Structure 1
Amino acid sequence: MVSLLNRFLPGTPCPLGASWDGRGVNFALFSSGAEKVELCLFSEDRREIQRIPVVENTDEVWHIYLPGLLPGQQYGFRVHGPYEPSRGLRFNANKVLLDPYAREIGAHLRWDDAVFGYTVGHSNQDLSFDSRDDAPFAPLARVTHTAFPWGDDRPPQIPWHKTIIYEAHVKGLTKLHPKIPPELRGTYLGFADDEMIRYFLELGITAVELLPVHYHIDERRLIDQKLSNYWGYNTLGFFAPDFRYALPDCGLTHAEQFQAMVRALHLHGIEVILDVVYNHTAEGNHLGPTLSFRGIDNLSYYRVSPEDPRHYVDFTGTGNTLNMRHPRVLQLIMDSLRYWVTEMHVDGFRFDLASSLAREFFEVDRLSAFFDLIHQDPVLSRVKLIAEPWDLGPGGYQVGNFPVGWAEWNGKYRDCVRRFWKGEGGLVSELATRLAGSSDLYAASGKRPYASINFITCHDGFTLNDLVSYERKHNEANGEENRDGTDANWSWNCGVEGPTEDPAILALRTKQKLNFWLTLLASQGVPMIRAGDELCQSQKGNNNAYCQDNELSWIDWEPTKEKLFFIQLVQKLIWLRRKEPVFQRRHFFQGREIRGSGVRDVVWLGPSGKPMDESEWSAPAVKFLGVRLSGDLTGVVDEFGNPVEGSSMLLLLNASEAPVPFVLPKRRNGLHWELVLDTDKPALSPKPMDPGKEYTLMGHSAALFRGERPAEPLPPGEFLEPISSE
């Protein structure tokens, strides 16, 4: 129990939040509309033991310094002011509010009607006022320190064009792993267990992209249904690692456990990218609870309707949108991002619904203050930045429109590849563009192929196994009568909806999964793998498992022949991609002849082994495509200016039902092609194939050939294009 404090100093308005300096703690809270602020200290059993008026106010920041206060202290704020929802004012000092800059959560939210600023069930809804004290139920912050022994930790700084991303959930990846100690499963420390790191290294990925780890709350309706917000896209604390993934009573704070995970991954050359949600908060719409921002300064933190400030502008589908036009909101986001880079050592961010961050007024603005702040920041401008380039507002689909320096989840890549392998015709022209890095989206603005984050599946939607097993979503377990989740899946069940024992359908599904894997890892851009797809994970057709914190979402590690088969093939393809420079181009293909060689950097081929003609490009019934990638004469140089040479590659795709005989194109010096993988016959060992001969590619199949390398290296520079300036 903490002794009552009776000596207070004015403190300073910065930094915001609670800062321990070894002698005491400075508290600073921004609120432009507050009339009075009180700092509340709590015991470990949630009893409010002291309420201290914060009297100093500098530039709309309320601040106080408490000498002798130590890390570990739980606290919250009460903010006084007018409660007039019709004017957008929602102050209610009966509610204990979480510090927006909380570094750690000491007490989690307990759902109760008292956490709402209005009287739940009242006929006037949020226009009513609730006077109950919610201290026993409110989330509380905890004072922390930041002295983590990083040692010689260094960011791996893997170049974009060599990056392979593995999207994973901290808990779901390890919860069922039999070789990880039971107490560590589902935690930060379990994620960095030696067993997991060995798996990452053998698989060949270079970065993990973690689903949200900021402190979030579970919506009340989910709790009532005995569900939870498993994915975590319901943030309340932008600085606090979620306590759910921390090991209790282990002597390390939540932050220290997260930091230990990052340090272990860095030690083995693996980057850590965070999926972050700065577009909205967990307080929801006008009928949501008063937990933090709403009660501190509703008009500053949220975008309210100009016509009716009682209601919020909602570009996110969650009930509210953070007010990116306010400098203190921008500061909050920038401070949070810098904290995760400088204190937690993460290597980049994927921004959820990033279009909403660029809405200064109503339209999405590429020149918004948010982008300006990121680009000029000496810390954030150097890490990996990934946009989910859409939101739910008008004009929110912005694939290809984010500024230079940003990569994007390429939804057009996902949809095109899915539709092609589903068997739709007339897509080969767009497919060629997607395979080559989507130059139509990125080249004109000065971006490179690695601006495109290519993916077939992600956390949101079908797993890869379900993509080839279901044509309709099956989300009944979510309790929303199957209304949630998208209907635009571009999936194909191969003849039967869901599980089957039909060997022909199972064989076709295996081929389809291999087709997707080969297409993804042979495409220009940055491949992103959904964790569990290499293990044939199924969610039983649920394409919106955001609330399923159970075996439906957790990855099953029990070994089967099918899992071992897929892991070995995926591993083979990943390491082939990492080895061959032709898959890691930093520049877009030009499609032109390389000087003096008679070879083009890329050639799109028809079954004749010759370049596709106009009739083949435009024919709606064409469902096949070949592409020859020149590996030894690319004109590509490494970071030291040396020519990068590798094997030429030949990729053949056939999404039609009928076999297609492809003539293998001729090669210089009479060199052969080597079959690396045929998805119809994946067990075949690599073997040489004669150029000019026919190779029959079966229906719903893909094949990859590697060009035999000459015995003697080519004369240096003889066939290279002039080096273009960066």
Structure 2
Amino acid sequence: MPPASSPRFALSSTPALVPLGGHTDHLGATATAEGVNFAVYSESASAIWVCLFDEQDKEIERFELDMHQDNVHAGLIANIGPGARYGLRADGPYDPDQGYFFDPNKLLVDPYARHLDRVFVRSPRLRLAREDAVDTAELVPKAIVPGGGNDLAQPRKKVPGLYYELNVRGFTMRHPSVQGPLRGTVAGLTTRRVIDHFKHLGVDAVQLMPTAAWIDEGHLPQLGLTNAWGYNPVAYFAVDPRLAPRGPQELRVMTDAYRKVGIAVILDVVYNHTGEGDSEGPILSMMGLDPQTYYRWVEVDGKKRLVNDTGTGNTLRCDHPAVQRLVIESLRYYVEELGVSGFRFDLATILGRDPGFNPEAEMLEKIKADPVLKKAILVAEPWDPGPGGYGLGKFGKEFAEHNDTYRDEIRAFWKGENGKIGALAGKVSGSAEIFDVAGRKPSAGVNMLAVHDGFTLRDLVSYHDKHNEANGEHNRDGHNHNSSWNCGVEGETDDEAINHARKRDVRALLATLFLSRGTPLIQQGDEMYRTQQGNNNAYAQDNEITWVDWENGDGALVDFVGALKSFRKAHPAVSHDHWLTGQDRNGARDVMWLHPDGREMTVADWNDSGASVLGMHLRHKDDEVLVWFNRRVEPVVARLPEGEWAVGIQSDQSFEVAFTEGTATLPPRSVVALVRPRA
């Protein structure tokens, strides 16, 4: 991709370093009345230079930062201003066996860069040994000095009622209202029809998959593939130019538009590793500036080796003050300058490693205590693949957490696994065994059935096995255990009965999600029956596999999801954020668990391994809802509590629920929510 256009900076005379004029308190590039101040943290660099580039990408000046204080190298360059394009070079020890890679031939991106002029690309030249190195400037994005800031925004703190996870490119590339250069960009999310779609669904928190500037994994270019998800960041402050080709202001315009209609924008952030990878990865930024500070290392046979708790080649050193500062300041930048309302932290346990996971680690405590961030929505993916990396339920009341046990147990129930009736009850009532501690509420659990790294809901009921051959790894990548089923045929089919069964199952799954305690999350396209052709790890498919097919979406399913959200909102018996106790309060119990015979579930009923039908009778004040879950393949006659009942919402709308002498006939493979008719 050619360099993006950047504002021209006026040169009243030749740029010049002001001797000892720099200051070290603000890292990165800061425009002042005297010029631009540059400040870079490094504990091991002997020298750091700022290199200026012209519009033709030619290096025109190079200045060594001459102020050194508390491991910060700083310098003031006069006669330049906002719009100037720059990169860094650093010198110091070169000893790869000890984790040092200093090489002035490597142009480096400022870790605090706010705006890049192009995307990152891979090349073997980016990792050549110092003795063989060539200048890498032509390969590396240039940072653009930022100008004045925006009015400071305030996050939309309200606890979300529905999260919607999306990939900016995948969501917008085929949307009919997003045309030309807007496709694949943040700006494409601002069209009226896109926003109306979210309003129709009842979404109040849009969660963008990573937007920070990223690089492809090393094996992808030779396969003709590119990273479609963005979970391989290099520059944490900079929005990737693919998503915001006209600069970070595009994200602020988008968040302002969403705030006006009551929708929070949440960023998926990856403070666990960078795209500089392992010992064979490219030298692009922090690995060339201060690898011992920014990354975790372990000594093996007298040599330093990168810790790989993330499974990506390196691990961010989040217990170091400089890394903590980078994380906090970049998060605050996104909230205050770019208007986001919160964050979903990828592999969030890395934030608390020192080196094992510590829920009270300094990094996590700083996020919770920060006066800006504590007002934001904070969501943890509470695990990483490293030793002891599973931390579900341990992030405290300040965080919500993705609840993978909800996904696994609900899938297992609907798949037909034995002994799951108790797990179903536990999950739809909020996973109290995990989250009912230290004053946390059911909303702390983010319930999901499918997210980006796995099957779509349609594929969940259409494929028994993953089909990731398009990724070029001979189907070895991706999860092998998916608790999926195919309703009789693997993959797409013209069999009408099988297709009906699949859509029926998806509707039952979605109804279960929206009628559960906790906060629901859906991923892009699941509301319209999207397929990825059985690919459950489509990270490298920036193509029709991940691009939402709006033209062929299931509009009736979209309407059903909107109706589920409306029903949930209208019935506090379903959605009120308190823990169900089953105890008598003011003459009524907030929940009773019913056998289809009408009796309250007994110990023997709970222990019945073949149990497949469960009633959940909910009350909150004057609201009363009775939810029936039936996974059998035949209708079931369920006896109802005394009184009049009516259908509030049902997953299989092709089946009429018949009421006869105190019973209701439940459709096969369905969820039915009954309500008391109101006067």
Where does residue 609 of structure 2 map in the other structure? 620
User: How many angstroms apart in 1 are the aligned matches of 2:384 and 2:351?
Assistant: 9
Where does residue 25 of structure 1 map in the other structure? 36
Are residue 527 (structure 1) and residue 520 (structure 2) matched? yes
Q: Deviation of residue 695 (structure 1)?
A: 1.8
Are residue 305 (structure 1) and residue 298 (structure 2) matched? yes
User: How many angstroms apart in 2 are the aligned matches of 1:157 and 1:181?
Assistant: 33
Q: How does 1:576-595 map to 2 (within 5 A)?
A: 576-595=567-586
User: How many angstroms apart in 1 are the aligned matches of 2:368 and 2:243?
Assistant: 32
Aligned partners of 1:650 and 1:706 also within 8 Å: yes
The more displaced of 67-76 and 655-664 is: 655-664
Are residue 610 (structure 1) and residue 567 (structure 2) matched? no
Where does residue 317 of structure 1 map in the other structure? 311
Please point out which of 628, 634, 638 is paired with 1:652. 628
Aligned partners of 1:341 and 1:347 also within 8 Å: yes
Residue 663 of structure 2 aligns with an amino acid whose one-letter code is E
Aligned partners of 1:154 and 1:266 also within 8 Å: no
Q: Deviation of residue 655 (structure 1)?
A: 1.5
* TM-score (norm. length: structure 1): 0.89
Please point out which of 335, 340, 344 is paired with 1:350. 344
Q: Deviation of residue 117 (structure 1)?
A: 4.3
Q: How does 1:96-115 map to 2 (within 5 A)?
A: 96-115=107-126
Q: Structure 2: any 5+ residue segments left out of the alignment?
A: 1-7
Aligned partners of 1:146 and 1:343 also within 8 Å: no
Please point out which of 636, 641, 653 is paired with 1:665. 641
User: How many angstroms apart in 2 are the aligned matches of 1:486 and 1:572?
Assistant: 32
Aligned-partner SS, 1:63: strand
Aligned partners of 1:286 and 1:310 also within 8 Å: no
Aligned-partner SS, 2:675: strand
Please point out which of 661, 676, 698 is paired with 2:648. 676
User: How many angstroms apart in 2 are the aligned matches of 1:658 and 1:135?
Assistant: 67
Q: Deviation of residue 175 (structure 1)?
A: 1.0
Are residue 538 (structure 1) and residue 527 (structure 2) matched? no
Q: Structure 1: any 5+ residue segments left out of the alignment?
A: 119-127, 248-252, 634-644, 712-726
Aligned partners of 1:230 and 1:546 also within 8 Å: yes
Where does residue 138 of structure 1 map in the other structure? 140
The more displaced of 692-701 and 520-529 is: 692-701
User: How many angstroms apart in 1 are the aligned matches of 2:609 and 2:324?
Assistant: 48
Aligned-partner SS, 2:298: coil
Aligned partners of 1:629 and 1:648 also within 8 Å: yes
Q: How does 1:237-256 map to 2 (within 5 A)?
A: 237-247=235-245, 253-256=246-249
Please point out which of 391, 396, 400 is paired with 2:393. 400
Aligned partners of 1:604 and 1:627 also within 8 Å: yes
User: How many angstroms apart in 1 are the aligned matches of 2:304 and 2:57?
Assistant: 32
Aligned-partner SS, 1:603: strand
Residue 693 of structure 1 aligns with an amino acid whose one-letter code is G
User: How many angstroms apart in 1 are the aligned matches of 2:123 and 2:273?
Assistant: 22
The more displaced of 60-69 and 521-530 is: 60-69
Residue 69 of structure 2 aligns with an amino acid whose one-letter code is T
Q: Deviation of residue 504 (structure 1)?
A: 1.3
User: How many angstroms apart in 2 are the aligned matches of 1:544 and 1:448?
Assistant: 32
Q: Deviation of residue 182 (structure 1)?
A: 2.6
Are residue 74 (structure 1) and residue 74 (structure 2) matched? no
Where does residue 16 of structure 2 map in the other structure? 6
Are residue 706 (structure 1) and residue 678 (structure 2) matched? no
Are residue 359 (structure 1) and residue 370 (structure 2) matched? no
User: How many angstroms apart in 2 are the aligned matches of 1:696 and 1:107?
Assistant: 61
Where does residue 5 of structure 2 map in the other structure? none
Please point out which of 530, 554, 559 is paired with 1:568. 559
Q: How does 1:459-470 map to 2 (within 5 A)?
A: 459-470=452-463
Aligned-partner SS, 1:444: coil
Structure-2 change in CA distance of 1:340 and 1:64 (3 Å)? same
User: How many angstroms apart in 1 are the aligned matches of 2:655 and 2:144?
Assistant: 56
User: How many angstroms apart in 1 are the aligned matches of 2:320 and 2:647?
Assistant: 58
Aligned partners of 1:673 and 1:688 also within 8 Å: no
Cα displacement string for residues 288-344 of structure 1 (whole angstroms, at most 9, x for unaligned residues) = 111111110111110011335532111101000011121101111111111111111
Residue 32 of structure 1 aligns with an amino acid whose one-letter code is E
Aligned-partner SS, 1:260: helix
Q: How does 1:73-472 map to 2 (within 5 A)?
A: 73-118=84-129, 129-148=131-150, 155-158=155-158, 160=159, 163-247=161-245, 253-307=246-300, 309-361=303-355, 363-472=356-465
User: How many angstroms apart in 2 are the aligned matches of 1:189 and 1:683?
Assistant: 42
Are residue 53 (structure 1) and residue 47 (structure 2) matched? no
Q: Deviation of residue 7 (structure 1)?
A: 4.3
Cα displacement string for residues 24-56 of structure 1 (whole angstroms, at most 9, x for unaligned residues) = 211000001111111111123321111111111
Cα displacement string for residues 584-633 of structure 1 (whole angstroms, at most 9, x for unaligned residues) = 222101111122x2x210011101122101111011111221101103x2
User: How many angstroms apart in 1 are the aligned matches of 2:524 and 2:17?
Assistant: 53
Q: Deviation of residue 396 (structure 1)?
A: 1.1
User: Superposition RMSD on alpha carbons, in Å?
Assistant: 1.8
Cα displacement string for residues 545-590 of structure 1 (whole angstroms, at most 9, x for unaligned residues) = 0010011101111156xx1110111111111112222232221011
Where does residue 125 of structure 1 map in the other structure? none
Where does residue 664 of structure 2 map in the other structure? 695
Aligned-partner SS, 2:436: helix
Q: Deviation of residue 181 (structure 1)?
A: 3.0
Where does residue 498 of structure 1 map in the other structure? 491
Percent identity, please. Answer: 40
Cα displacement string for residues 480-527 of structure 1 (whole angstroms, at most 9, x for unaligned residues) = 100000011100101100011111111110110001110000001100
Cα displacement string for residues 430-489 of structure 1 (whole angstroms, at most 9, x for unaligned residues) = 111110111000113321101100000011100011001001000000001000000111
User: How many angstroms apart in 2 are the aligned matches of 1:688 and 1:508?
Assistant: 21
Residue 84 of structure 1 aligns with an amino acid whose one-letter code is D
Residue 90 of structure 2 aligns with an amino acid whose one-letter code is V
Structure-2 change in CA distance of 1:627 and 1:677 (3 Å)? same
Cα displacement string for residues 669-717 of structure 1 (whole angstroms, at most 9, x for unaligned residues) = x4x2111333334475xx8957x622222432221112223x3xxxxxx
User: How many angstroms apart in 2 are the aligned matches of 1:32 and 1:682?
Assistant: 67
Please point out which of 575, 586, 590 is paired with 1:601. 590
Residue 665 of structure 2 aligns with an amino acid whose one-letter code is T
Aligned partners of 1:675 and 1:688 also within 8 Å: no
Are residue 551 (structure 1) and residue 523 (structure 2) matched? no
Aligned-partner SS, 1:65: strand
The more displaced of 698-707 and 613-622 is: 698-707
Aligned partners of 1:107 and 1:140 also within 8 Å: yes
Where does residue 721 of structure 1 map in the other structure? none
Aligned-partner SS, 1:209: strand
Where does residue 641 of structure 1 map in the other structure? none
User: How many angstroms apart in 1 are the aligned matches of 2:429 and 2:514?
Assistant: 12
Aligned-partner SS, 1:311: strand
Aligned-partner SS, 1:546: coil
Q: Deviation of residue 239 (structure 1)?
A: 0.5
